[in-house]
Structure 1
Amino acid sequence: MPFFLIFVKTKTSYMYEFIQRFHSGWAYLALFLLVVAVVNSLIGMFSKKEFTAKDRKIALFGLIGIHTQLLIGLILYFVSPLGFASFGQMSDKALRLTSLEHPLINIIGIALITIGWSKHKKLVTSESKFKTFSIFYGLGLLLILSRIPWSMWF
């Protein structure tokens, strides 16, 4: 094998490793922001408090954090050997989780979070805004948590 091909393979390997670690590390921050947004919306809904700019920013940080995680995850999916290459091996539970279930379910969860953000902008009352965030962000968080490859995370 020519030397330059070895160098390219090594560079690709380092890039994949870096993106994978970044995706795993950023997940902690993204999930933390999302949990804070869900808890804040539940507290606001049950305590009947007024929806303020602080509440909007908390939800926005959750949205930005999870969209950044999606972007990193999509990049990782296309440079990963576990992405498209493992579609022929759906009988293996671990490969099916990383190549199909994790990306698909998380994209659905992030879509729900995005819908919740969009819907809140049209609402007038604080109660309806908190309720919308609680439902959509909560369902999105639940879907995301259900398809994290926990065995690879710890």
Structure 2
Amino acid sequence: MYKFLLGLHSGIRYIVIILFSLALIMALIGLFGRKSSNEFHRKINLYSLISAHVQLLTGLILYFYSPNVMFSNMGAAMKDPIIRYWTVEHSAMMIFAVILITVGHSRSKKAIDSVNKHRAIALYYGLALLVILLAIYQSGRPIFGSSM
């Protein structure tokens, strides 16, 4: 079960990174090019949000199956950088990223004009993508490729 969940979680990250990169590029082009927001933008932003939430749920399930997470002795877990990363840091960073994504999507939906829609997505999705990439990089795993 653990290997399957790890493979699934690792595979979904590509979908998340691609969708967020696309949403961010489209938002920046729309913002700086003063282009109107359309249905395609809305769908990419929504699919990005959904993929991040699916990834979070997969990660939370994986969290309880992982041999790298230690709940029984948090003192020892905090002393080991690898166990500390997987027990505390990775999940905290990813939950923070999903909060940024959710807030950004909500602000984009509530914005009346296209500039503010693009600005909300560019700001919040951009920050979330940065947090996600930092969390992946900090793990020692490659962003592209697999080290399972």
TM-score when normalising by structure 2:
0.88
Name the CA distance, whole Å, in 2 between partners of 1:63 and 1:151.
Answer: 23
Give the aligned CA root-mean-square deviation in angstroms.
Answer: 1.4
Q: State whether structure 2 residue 113 is matched by structure 1 residue 96.
A: no
Among 106, 113, 116, the residue aligned to 2:94: 106
CA contact (8 A) 1:123 1:129 kept: yes
User: How far does the alpha carbon of each residue in 1:112-132 deviate from its partner, in whole angstroms, 9 at most, with x for none?
Assistant: 110011111211110000000
Q: Which residue of 1 aligns with 2:48?
A: 62
Q: 123-132 or 94-103, which moves further after superposition? A: 94-103
Among 16, 24, 34, the residue aligned to 1:30: 16
Query: May I ask how many residue pairs the two structures share in their alignment?
Result: 140
**Structure with the greater alpha carbon radius of gyration:** 1
Name the CA distance, whole Å, in 1 between partners of 2:67 and 2:42.
Answer: 39
For structure 2, which runs of at least 5 residues remain unmatched after alignment?
none
Q: State whether structure 2 residue 31 is matched by structure 1 residue 41.
A: no
**Identical pairs, percent:** 39
DSSP-derived class of the 1:43 partner: helix
Q: What is the identity, as a one-letter code, of the residue corresponding to 1:94?
A: I
Q: Which residue of 2 aligns with 1:129?
A: 117
Name the CA distance, whole Å, in 2 between partners of 1:79 and 1:94.
Answer: 16
For structure 1, which runs of at least 5 residues remain unmatched after alignment?
1-14
Q: What is the identity, as a one-letter code, of the residue corresponding to 2:129?
A: L
TM-score when normalising by structure 1:
0.85
Name the CA distance, whole Å, in 2 between partners of 1:24 and 1:70.
Answer: 12
Q: Which runs of 4+ in 1 moved over 6 A?
A: none
Q: What is the identity, as a one-letter code, of the residue corresponding to 1:42?
A: L
Q: Which residue of 1 aligns with 2:131?
A: 143
Q: What is the identity, as a one-letter code, of the residue corresponding to 2:141?
A: S
CA contact (8 A) 1:41 1:131 kept: yes
Q: State whether structure 2 residue 126 is matched by structure 1 residue 119.
A: no
More helix by share: 1
Q: State whether structure 2 residue 64 is matched by structure 1 residue 74.
A: no
